[in-house]
Structure 1
Amino acid sequence: MKTGRRMLTTTAVAVVCAITVLAAPGTAFAAPAPPPPPAPAPSASASADVAPSEDLEAVREELDGLYRAAAVATEEYNAAEEKAEQQSTEIARLAKKIAEGRERLDGLKDRAGAAAASQYRGGGLPPEAHLMLSDDPQEFLVGAGRIRQGQHATRGLLGEMRRAQEDLEQYAQDADAQWRKLEAGRRAKARAQKKIEKQIAAAEKIESELEQEEKERLAELERRAAEKAQSAWLDSGALEGVGAEASEQGRKAVAYATAQIGKPYEWGAEGPKTYDCSGLTSEAWRAGGQGIPRTSQEQWKRLTRVAVAEMRPGDLVIYFEDASHVGMYVGDGAIVHAPRPGRTITIAGAGSMPILGVVRPDPDADAADEAGNGKKNDKSDRTGERDRKAGAN
């Protein structure tokens, strides 16, 4: 994906896809790791500098809330950007239509002017008058036919001019409406950007005030919370029956997404150096040959939904009730996703966050694969039949 693909993006940005908890790279997802042995009791001086566990848990929850709010605003920003791109394309289409309509109207006016000039050169008399003055019956009959044709042509020309004018007026009205929507979208993007920056700044301020040991303990709290959620999800039997293979496009999408592991998260970004959550999934499926909506909410609304028990690698797992986060299922109960600011693209447990549902970008791949397999089987059968006949001879 080349940078600068989006028409109206003027700032290099990249999205916050908030998650309640984040699994660190390399975490095992089949079951939570055993807790580490209890640490020795801190000294009196150390306990004065390091926040108690309950305080760090409160910090974790506060950070989660801030990043979740930023994620919602990020998807609002992405949606406004996508609409602005669509509206800009529509405005360009209408501008072309207006130009073509004006050229057509000018041509019709030229034709009308030529007809008027011809009548003037005829002495200003209408064709009917010239016809009545003719003494030749044959000329009268021929002339009568021409008059009818001329009258029909004139009415047709006037009708064309009227329709061309009406088309121009409609195109102008449509273009004006699209400009109004475009301006509204720009304002919505600006509001969303302010929300994002405010929430991220607040979260970064909290994290910057933590001591190194507190940051390490906070990361451990996040890891344990992720493992606990993943373990509970697995214990629920959610993966029972899951084992379908990826489609050809799905394999390409997974390969693209996993190749981005380690790259930074950036809100509003679609690669190739940074991504947000939906930027990663939309670009991965573009690489797989299938265009999908840009935002996680639109992916949830517009893509085909499948049961968790039927998901396969390449399917998208949508998280939280507001569909503000998305990851790509890669198999074995895991997803690849772009977590949030300050984190990198990583593998995480598919159940480490609250799952809203699963969507499939290529639902028609099943029928295509079955048809392809059927053709292969038919060919194999015919080849086998030829071999048997050859052996018999």
Structure 2
Amino acid sequence: MLQGKRVLLIIGGGIAAYKALELIRLLRKEGAGVTPVLTKAAAEFVTPLSVGALAGEKVYSDLFDLTDEAEMGHIQLSRVADLIVVAPATADLMAKAAHGLAGDLASTLLLATDTPVLMVPAMNVRMWLHAATQRNLEMLRSDGVRILGPDEGEMACGEFGPGRMAEPAAILAAVQDALQAGPLAGKHVIVTSGPTHEPIDPVRYIANRSSGAQGTALARALAGLGAKVTFVTGPASVPPPEGVTVVRVETAAQMLGAVQAALPADAAVFAAAVADWRVQNAAQHKMKKDGSGQPPALQFAENPDILATVSQMQAGRPRLVVGFAAETEKVLDHATAKRLRKGCDWIVANDVSPETGIMGGDENAVTLITDKGAESWPRTGKDMVARRLAERIAEALA
């Protein structure tokens, strides 16, 4: 899909540099040529030999290498590529690029280019959340730099939070998005994601454990294939992807309203974990204990069924409607019945029992249920699940 495209890959100095090796392999598998640039710090984590062997090209690292300057020159090197990818983009590299510094080959290339740039940040969570890094991030975005990630999770330093570099498969999808229209060009896809919060009072609510990771990965993959994506998200812990239209909601009713407002669409994928019930008599002020030992009498009402509402539309129904079924028992039986009951085209079923670690985790194991039967996919990262599902959606809409 990237045949004839050329990527200039700048590898920054961080433990995540090892992921750049897999990224090179994926890019070349898709037909792209990769010209690698190693910072001095990056060479402490991956060797020029391994990078060059995978890329099949010379590795550049020294701004003042006379041979390199005679053969290519850093100005020309910065402009022969179709896209510059910085992965990992360290806090130092981001700061240099944001402020126009050019003290080494990598930063000089970023300053001397008019080629589109995609940065994939990776750093300690405190460095990522630092006010200086966030200022630099906004400056880079305002300069037109695409940003992918970072992901949230446990890091090599032992801390947990945002700062992990996006996985190579997700970077590949972002590269494809930047370099080509893709099979979903001209198509509009609605994706719902995350939990909903149904208020009990102004400070308490009913929710679930959904992180929004799978819906986010799917929106990113669809955008990577060229789709215009409207991403309707509840209050998820995973940040929304770049390059999509984000609509933030809290409740199921708000999510339904946002979906209806986003129509018409070619496809709609309902990955959100919508609360089945809401509190009908939610208090206007914070509930207080009265000393009686009796809990408040909460009255519940059924939430609107977003999947069924859209699936059963008489006019303006998307060509393809995909639902998700998160089950803890009889997964295939419940999911198959759900597809028929709701009237959707496909159901993506998974087992979210606590022992699977899937809800809120980095991996998923799903079964795609259509009118042709059930197709089980092996357990893998949520980015890979998203990529595979996005490709199937593209085939269905072709």
| TM-score with structure 2 setting the length | 0.20
Higher gyration radius (CA): 1
- Which structure carries more relative contact order (alpha carbon 8 Å, separation 6+)? 1
Give the structure with the higher percent strand.
2
Output the TM-score relative to the length of structure 1.
Answer: 0.21
